[in-house]
A = this chain, B = another copy of it.
Amino acid sequence: MPVARNAPPPSEAPPGQRAVTMETVGRLAGVSQVTVSRALNDPKKVSPETLRKIQEAIAVTGYVPNALAGALASRRSKLVAALVPSLTNVVYSSMIKSLSDTMRDGHYQIMLSETGTDPAQEEELIATHLSRRPDAIVLTGIHHTANARRMLLGAGIPVVELWDITDSPIDLCVGFSHSETGRAAARYALDRGYDAAAAISAGDERALRRMSGFADLWTERTGQSVPSEVFAPSSTLADGRTGLARLVDTHGLRRGVIHCSSDVLAHGVLTEAAARGLRVPEDIAVIGFGDQDMAAHTYPALTTVRVDRSELGLQAAKAILARFEGKDIPPVTDLSFSIIARDSA
């Protein structure tokens, strides 16, 4: 089955060479095309003998089913669309991994795309994905354009809003309250007896809500304002370092606890603290968010807010699967979170 190297069809022509079809396989096995279809989708509906012949024909021809045709005919694509703000952020990709692993067990495949933080771009990607006729779609967050909502509803498939929570989901919602994570962090810091606070946050809407949760509760309880540094939506170690540097150099921060909207930012703060010879947590204390793998292994180990991303992905998958089976399930799942006390605060 050789293929000409470097001699593809021109763009106008279809890319694939004429592929082997069920028809061909059937002819070779001496049966009709439908029988091949049955052999593949429900082998017990076919006699052992013909099944064997068909499998042989498949092996000989190197037949690969055309899922496009299958999906068109059956109106079921076995595809689940998933949209995340960033492909390179483990916070999302670890969630998608667990979603993906669970859906794979049900023979569903994930179609993943990156939306950035702009709802308009998300809307565009929703349209593209919907055109592939997924059997379900997973979105990150609860803010979408009006038009996106219309399209989603019109698609008539399960829609999961992941990684945030609302009382009025489009369809299903699996997440937690971002502002509550911030408030919980503030309570923790207060309990620990810190008497000054600052915040470093990524610039996306949810990160800002986490920060506000922290700052609001802190201010309510202490009357103090909380100086803050805000960076781009994708937080980096470098931003964390810069954040601490600015807090110290321009806000005159000398001591206290710093709330970071992600573990990566927190890691950056730890790094800058080490570079400056500041002691953690004696001089400055640090609270992260996410409980990424590295959080337990930074020096000092990072105190952070754990959200179980695997569980989020899993619950989303379970909700979708339940829907496929026609089960009536609660539309919103609040997975909550917890504070993991380690050494940095």
Q: Which residues of A contact B (CB under 8 A)?
A: 1-3, 5-11, 14-17, 19-20, 62, 64-69, 71-72, 74-77, 87-88, 90, 93-94, 96-97, 100, 109-114, 127-128, 130-133, 135-136, 150-151, 153-158, 171, 236-238, 241, 268, 271-272, 274-275, 293-294, 296-299, 323-326, 328-329, 331
Contacts and interface: CB of A to CB of B under 8 A. Distances in A.
B110 A113 contact: yes
A234 to B, nearest CB: 9
A2 B157 CA distance: 12
B155 A298 contact: no
A8 B71 CA distance: 19
A58 to B, nearest CB: 11
Contacts of A74: 14
A326 B10 CA distance: 4
A113 B88 CA distance: 14
B62 A154 contact: yes
Closest 9 CB pairs of A and B: A17-B156, A14-B75, A10-B326, A237-B294, A67-B131, A238-B297, A275-B299, A88-B93, A62-B154
A325 B6 CA distance: 12
B133 A16 contact: yes
A165 to B, nearest CB: 17
Nearest to A242: B297
25 contacts: A3-B153, A3-B154, A3-B171, A10-B326, A14-B75, A14-B76, A15-B157, A15-B158, A19-B156, A62-B154, A64-B127, A64-B151, A66-B72, A68-B68, A68-B77, A87-B96, A87-B97, A88-B94, A93-B93, A97-B114, A100-B113, A109-B113, A237-B297, A238-B297, A271-B297
Nearest to A15: B135
A68 B72 contact: yes
How many monomers of this protein are in the complex?
A: 2
Contact of A324 (B11, B156, B324): B11
A271 B299 contact: yes
B156 A15 contact: yes
A57 to B, nearest CB: 15
Given A15-B156, A100-B114, A297-B271, A325 B68 contact: no
Contacts of A135: 15-16
A3 B271 contact: no
B238 A293 contact: yes
B236 A136 contact: no
B326 A11 contact: yes
B237 A156 contact: no
A307 to B, nearest CB: 15
Contacts of A274: 274, 299
A332 to B, nearest CB: 11
Contacts of A90: 88, 90
A167 to B, nearest CB: 13
Contacts of A268: 297
A8 B5 CA distance: 48
B65 A131 contact: yes
A111 B114 contact: no
B156 A3 contact: yes
